[in-house]
Chain A
Amino acid sequence: MAQIIVVTSGKGGVGKTTTTAALGAALARNGQNVAVVDFDVGLRNLDLVMGVERRVVFDLINVVQGDATLHQALIRDKRCETLSILPASQTRDKDSLTAEGVSRVMEELREKFDWVLCDSPAGIERGAQLAMHHADHAVIVTNPEVSSVRDSDRIVGMLDSRTARAEQGERVEKHLLLTRYDPARAARDEMLSVDDVIDILSVPLLGVVPESEDVLKASNVGAPVTLAAPNSAPAKAYFEAVRRLEGEELPVSIPTEKRGLLDFIFKKRGA
Chain B
Amino acid sequence: MSFLDNFFSRKRPSSSTVARNRLQILLAHERGVSGEDDTNLLRTLHREILEVLARHVSVDQDNVNIKLDRGQNCSTLEIDIQVPETGLRAQVSTSASDLK
Report the separation of the CA atoms of residues A161 and B31 in the bound assembly, to the nearest whole angstrom. Answer: 13
The reply to whether B22 and A190 contact each other, CB–CB distance below 8 Å, is: no
The reply to whether A189 and B30 contact each other, CB–CB distance below 8 Å, is: no
Judge if B80 is at the interface, Cβ distance under 8 Å.
no
Which B residues lie within 8 Å of A200 (CB)?
A: 20, 23-24, 27
**SS of B interface (majority):** helix
The reply to whether B15 and A190 contact each other, CB–CB distance below 8 Å, is: yes
The reply to whether B16 and A190 contact each other, CB–CB distance below 8 Å, is: yes
Judge if A191 is at the interface, Cβ distance under 8 Å.
yes
Which B residues lie within 8 Å of A157 (CB)?
A: 31, 34-35
Contact A150/B23 with A157-B31, A157-B35, A161-B36 known, Cβ cut-off 8 Å: yes
Which A residues lie within 8 Å of B26 (CB)?
A: 150
Which B residues lie within 8 Å of A191 (CB)?
A: 16
**SS of A interface (majority):** helix
Which A residues lie within 8 Å of B31 (CB)?
A: 153, 157
Judge if A108 is at the interface, Cβ distance under 8 Å.
no
Within 8 Å by CB of A196, from B16, B34, B35, lies B16
Judge if B52 is at the interface, Cβ distance under 8 Å.
no
Judge if A192 is at the interface, Cβ distance under 8 Å.
yes
Complex interface residues of chain A between 189 and 208 (CB less than 8 A to chain B)? 189-193, 196, 199-200
Report the separation of the CA atoms of residues A142 and B63 in the bound assembly, to the nearest whole angstrom. Answer: 44
23 pairs, CB–CB < 8 Å, chain A vs chain B? A146-B22, A146-B23, A149-B23, A150-B23, A150-B26, A150-B27, A153-B27, A153-B30, A153-B31, A157-B31, A157-B34, A157-B35, A186-B16, A189-B15, A189-B16, A192-B16, A192-B19, A192-B20, A193-B16, A196-B20, A200-B20, A200-B23, A200-B24
Apart from A191-B16, A196-B16, A199-B20, 7 more pairs, CB < 8 Å: A153-B30, A161-B36, A189-B16, A192-B16, A192-B23, A196-B19, A200-B27
Q: Chain A contact residues (Cβ within 8 angstroms of B): what range? A: 10 to 19
Residue of A nearest to B15 (CB): A190
Which B residues lie within 8 Å of A199 (CB)?
A: 20
Centre residue among B15, B23, B27 by max chain A CB count within 10 A: B23
Complex interface residues of chain B between 59 and 76 (CB less than 8 A to chain A)? none
Report the separation of the CA atoms of residues A78 and B7 in the bound assembly, to the nearest whole angstrom. Answer: 59
Judge if B14 is at the interface, Cβ distance under 8 Å.
yes
The reply to whether B14 and A189 contact each other, CB–CB distance below 8 Å, is: yes
Judge if B17 is at the interface, Cβ distance under 8 Å.
yes
Report the minimal beta-carbon distance from A197 to chain B, rounded to whole angstroms.
Answer: 9
Report the separation of the CA atoms of residues A200 and B17 in the bound assembly, to the nearest whole angstrom. Answer: 12
Which A residues lie within 8 Å of B17 (CB)?
A: 189
Report the separation of the CA atoms of residues A22 and B7 in the bound assembly, to the nearest whole angstrom. Answer: 44
Report the minimal beta-carbon distance from B18 to chain A, rounded to whole angstroms.
Answer: 9
Which A residues lie within 8 Å of B30 (CB)?
A: 150, 153-154
Which B residues lie within 8 Å of A190 (CB)?
A: 14-16
| 0/1 string, B1-26, CB within 8 A of A gives 1 | 00000000000001111011011101
Report the separation of the CA atoms of residues A185 and B7 in the bound assembly, to the nearest whole angstrom. Answer: 23
Report the separation of the CA atoms of residues A145 and B20 in the bound assembly, to the nearest whole angstrom. Answer: 9
Which A residues lie within 8 Å of B35 (CB)?
A: 157
